[in-house]
Amino acid sequence: MDTALLIEKSILVLLLFLVSLGAAAYMTYFERKLAAWIQDRVGPDRAGPFGILQPIADGVKMFLKEDFIPAKADKWLFIIGPGIAMFTALITSAVVPWGPKLHLFGRDIALQVADINIGILYVFGVLSVGVYGIMIGGWASNNKYSLYGAIRASSQMISYELAMGVSAITIVLLSGSLSLNDIVTQQSGVWNVFYQPVAFFIFFVCSLAELNRAPFDLPECESELVGGYHTEYSSMKLGLYLFAEYTSMFVSSAIMAILFFGGYHFPGMSHFSGNTLAILGIAALAIKIFIFIFVIMWIRWTIPRFRFDQLMHLGWKTLLPLSLINLLITGLVIAFKNGWF
């Protein structure tokens, strides 16, 4: 194997790891600030100027808390649970194309860890495995609230994965490829969201549900289940669960930007080339991700939580039929364009 390629990929993996963790840390800060602004408050402002060091203070606090394992908990599964949650949240970003090719040291560096030809399926695969972190942790706690949280999480994720997958298939129909890289390059002209607004809407709502974010945060709703699946967790294990949520929020914002908003493409892209283009592309993707994160947080602090039967109704009786009809229409239009009738 090419040694330079190995080094290049290792650096990229390390960078991605750091960036997604750092982004997750500062998303907690941003979330608290945004919540405060929406509620006419100031938010954290004591640690450093404008409270900019708040995530570090929170991290230190998490590490210094007592690490507690309930007496009747299944010890190994209790420890593995948050690990799985964090692991799956981090490895999703492997297939995300972060920008156009970069030229450094006489090499073309692709800003994507693995350009596998089934990228979008990989994302779905990892997402579907992510639920194990919550389920195992919730069950191993030996607490009825945790179990309720775990059961809600799993049934919710299974129901919303379907509509999400079907709306993603429409994108695959448009681009004719499962590779995220191809999907991005295919959007250099018009972004997919203009062809598929309904699919985007369904995908967005479903990813809110997959992320366990409000208004679909039933697995951890405080008013009913104390802390949901992480009721019994403390210290950095709890920190890992919370961190995993923010990391997957970051990655799914990136996925949404790539599938529907042209990834690193931006208007007036043809005026640039080389490394300038690469850096501007990364910046464009970062801005799109930021906007998605902002909207997700904005929704959280606006819309009250769904009831569980309403959640299931929405998933199975509204979003799934809607996405199937959308898929059918898309398929017909593509077949018509190819002259099959």
Partner 1 sequence: MESLTNRKKVVSDKPMTLWEKAYLPAIISGMMTTMRHMFRKRKTIKYPEETREFAPVYRGQHVLKRDEQGRENCTACGLCAVACPAEAITMTSAERERGQEQLYREEKYAATYEINMLRCIFCGLCEEACPKEAIFLTDRLVPTFFERDNFIYGKDKLVETLDERIDITNRQHTGKRSQI
Partner 2 sequence: MSLQIISIILGSLTLASALMVVLSKHPIRSVIYLVVTFFFITSMYIMMNAQFLAIVNMIVYAGAIMVLFLFVLMLLNLNKEMEPMNTKGAQLAAFIAGGSLFLVLITALKDTLILGQTYRQQDNSIGLVKELGNLLFTKYVVAFELTSILFIAAMVGAILLAKREKQIIE
Residues at the interface with partner 1 (CB under 8 A): 34, 37-42, 45, 298-299, 301-303
Residue number, 131 or 297, with CB nearest to partner 2: 131
Chosen residue from 17, 26, 50, 132 binding partner 2 by CB under 8 A: 132
Chosen residue from 5, 52, 129, 329 binding partner 2 by CB under 8 A: 129
Q: Helix/strand/coil (H, E, C) string of 82-130?
A: HHHHHHHHHHHHHHCCCCCCEEECCEEECCCCCCCCCHHHHHHHHHHHH
Size of the site for partner 2 (CB under 8 A): 26
Residue number, 63 or 298, with CB nearest to partner 1: 298
- Name residues contacting partner 2, limited to 63-82 (CB under 8 A): 74, 77
Angle at 199 between CA 196 and CA 118, to 5 degrees: 95
Chosen residue from 21, 155, 282, 334 binding partner 2 by CB under 8 A: 155
| 49-54, long-range: CB < 8 A, 24+ apart | 54/28, 54/29
Phi, psi (degrees; rounded to nearest 5) at 107: -130, 150
Q: Does 95 bind partner 2 (CB under 8 A)?
A: no
Residue number, 286 or 322, with CB nearest to partner 1: 322
- Least Cβ distance, residue 310 to partner 2 (angstroms): 20
Residue number, 149 or 281, with CB nearest to partner 2: 149
Report which of 133, 207, 211, 221 is spatially closest to residue 164, judged by C-alpha positions: 207
Q: Does 328 bind partner 2 (CB under 8 A)?
A: no
- Least Cβ distance, residue 42 to partner 1 (angstroms): 4
Query: What is the full DSSP assignment across 154-209?
Result: HHHHHHHHHHHHHHHHHHHHHHS-S-HHHHHHHTSSS-HHHH-HHHHHHHHHHHHH
Q: From the list partner 1, partner 2, none, pick the one residue 73 interacts with, judged by a Cβ distance below 5 to 8 Å according to partner type.
A: none
183-192: string of b/e by CB count within 10 Å (b at 16+)?
bbbbbeeebb
Q: Does 164 bind partner 2 (CB under 8 A)?
A: no
Helix-strand-coil percent breakdown of the chain, rounded to 5?
A: 70, 0, 25
* Longest alpha-carbon distance in the chain: 68
| Amino acid identity for residue 201 in this structure | F
Chosen residue from 109, 135, 244, 278 binding partner 2 by CB under 8 A: 135
Terminal alpha carbon distance of the chain: 49
Distance CA 230, CA 233 (A): 5
Q: From the list partner 1, partner 2, none, pick the one residue 298 interacts with, judged by a Cβ distance below 5 to 8 Å according to partner type.
A: partner 1
- Least Cβ distance, residue 266 to partner 1 (angstroms): 25
Residue number, 25 or 85, with CB nearest to partner 2: 85
Q: Does 136 bind partner 2 (CB under 8 A)?
A: yes
Residue number, 51 or 100, with CB nearest to partner 1: 51
Q: Does 117 bind partner 2 (CB under 8 A)?
A: yes
Q: Which residues contact 265 (CB under 8 A, 6 or more apart)?
A: 184, 187, 188, 191, 281, 284
Q: Does 7 bind partner 2 (CB under 8 A)?
A: no
Q: Which residues bind partner 2 (CB under 8 A)?
A: 74, 77, 116-118, 121-122, 124-125, 127-129, 131-132, 135-136, 139, 147, 150-151, 154-155, 157-158, 161, 178
